[in-house]
Amino acid sequence: MTQLNTPPPGELNPYQRIELGTLQVPAFHAHLRRESADLAYLLGAWAGCTEIGGKPDNRISFASQDERQISLLNERIISVTGKSACHQSVDIHGTAYIRLVVHNEEIALHFQRVTAYNSRVPWEHLGTEGERINYIRGIFDHSGWMFTGSSSGIGINKVDGEYLLRDIGRVFVKVGLLPLILDHPVPSLRLKEITEWQTFAERVPLSLPDRQRVAFILAHRPSQKNHFTVADYETVRQGYQSEGMNPAQIARATGIPANSVRDWMIRGQKPPAVKRKEIIDTFSASMPNSDVINAVYRTLGASSELARECGKRVTPERVTAFAHGLKDNALLYGNDELIARDLLGGWAKPS
């Protein structure tokens, strides 16, 4: 272990240096709390493929059968850490894989902390549009699925991963994508309509040509059904409830087929756009304030634990009370009351 040298001014403050300690790869320090599309990409890839060799102890690792994926990952590992990862040939459940391994306890602990052992999105490193897009790109370069057959769509499956998928769904929403989150038979996040496939192809540039080609095919295929907006649904609902119009009258007034009106109002079969909105509203209502988390984590260098609490407890008094209760608070965070009041001043919402 080499002692951390004093970084250039503006990169890390004293509280960050105390928290991070020493690293075998000092270059990683510079990426922990400033914008890094490559680090966001690695976190996305790690979120998607931890079932095959990614669970850390004193390392982070990625496994794949595709040498192109290994090359993409190693390029970003070098960018973030300044050092190439170790290559290993491994047998996983009877199948040969190439595994990339970064042997560094500090980096592994950081990945564990910001992802809560891959159960949450690392919001601390997704503070910009570019980082969020690269996080999604990392997921779909190395996992996820895209189908062009009868069950067309784009999605991710995660066994026992419903909470993480809902968190990833919030990242999708922030870049203009509206997914469905399904929990049967396996928890999955899905883009099921052509409008979403088009947005995905426009916003998320995939690195592998074969995956990019499938995304292009989905984005340019003819629509197989009518697609209605939330506004369409609200227009029909208001006409049905307020004006007492029957489905045929509503259809003539709105141009929406009478069968669809009947499905929505009589059978309770809401259009996908409305289902998406309800799902998004449900898990966004309890969403910690990610702007607070990013600002606290990046700007003043509080630990990710305190940063997350700042996102949940959005008044200075509540954050200060929590910070006071943390062990060695004075060493890690300095004046916690000042941190709480200064950082939350611009983002605080009524609790």
Which of the two residues, 269 and 41, has the higher pLDDT score? 41
**Which of 77, 96, 126 delimits the end of a domain?**
126
Is residue 95 one of the residues assigned to a domain?
yes
Pair 261, 251: CB distance under 8 Å: yes
Domain end, chosen from 98, 126, 154, is at 126
Question: One-letter amino acid identity for 298?
Answer: R
Final residue belonging to a domain, choices 157, 192, 219: 219
User: How do residues 130-148 score in pLDDT, each as one tens digit?
Assistant: 999 999 999 999 999 998 8
Q: Which of 276, 267, 287 is nearest to 182 (CA)?
A: 276
For residue 32, the domain's CATH number is 3.10.28.10
Instruction: Using alpha carbons, list the distances in angstroms from residue 332 to 15, 255, 296, 301, 305.
Output: 5, 62, 13, 9, 11
pLDDT score, position 207? 95
Residue 160 CB neighbours (<10 A)? 9
Same domain, 172 and 115: no
Residues 212, 160 share a domain: yes
Question: Quick one: 83 and 108 in the same domain?
Answer: yes
For 277, residues 6+ apart whose C-beta sits below 8 A from its C-beta are: 178, 230
User: Comparing C-alpha atoms, which of 235, 279, 283, 296 is closest to residue 260?
Assistant: 235
In angstroms, rounded to a whole number, what is the distance separating the alpha carbons of residues 162 and 302? 29
Residue 43 sits in the same domain as residue 84: yes
Residue 207 placed within a domain: yes
Determine contact, residues 38/134, Cβ cutoff 8 Å: yes
pLDDT digits (tens, 9 = 90+) for 82-98: 888 888 888 888 889 99
34 and 116 inside one domain: yes
> Does one domain contain both 206 and 255?
no
> If DSSP codes are grouped into helix, strand and coil, which group holds residue 86?
strand
Select, from the ranges 225-234, 328-337, 341-350, the one with the highest average predicted confidence (pLDDT).
Answer: 225-234
Q: What would the mean pLDDT of 26-30 be, rounded to a whole number?
A: 65
Burial pattern 201-239, b for ≥16 Cβ within 10 A else e, equals: bebbebbeeebbebbeebbeeeeeeeebeeebbebbbeb
Same domain, 162 and 236: no
Shared-domain flag, residues 161 and 211: yes
- Is 98 in a helix, a strand, or coil? strand
**Which of 308, 299, 19, 110 is closest to 323 using CA atoms?**
308
Residue 202: inside a domain, yes or no?
yes
Give mean pLDDT, residues 180-208.
86
Instruction: Identify whether residues 264 and 305 lie together within a single domain.
Output: no
The residue-averaged pLDDT of 122-135 equals 89
Q: Could you give the number of structural domains in the chain? A: 4
Q: Which domain holds residue 319?
A: 290-344
For residue 222, the model assigns a pLDDT of 65
Angle at 52 between CA 166 and CA 214, to 5 degrees: 65
- Mean pLDDT in the chain? 75
What is the dihedral sign for C-alpha 86, 90, 93, 95? positive
Q: Does some domain include residue 112?
A: yes
- Asked if the structure places residue 339 within a domain, the reply is yes
Residues 234 and 209 in one domain: no
Provide the β-strand partners of residue 89.
98
pTM of this prediction? 0.68
Q: Which of 105, 116, 36 has its CA nearest to residue 76? A: 36
Q: Could you tell me whether strands 59-64 and 95-103 are parallel, antiparallel, or unpaired per DSSP bridges?
A: antiparallel
Judge contact between 76 and 169, C-beta under 8 A. Answer: no
Both tokens of residue 213? 């080609």
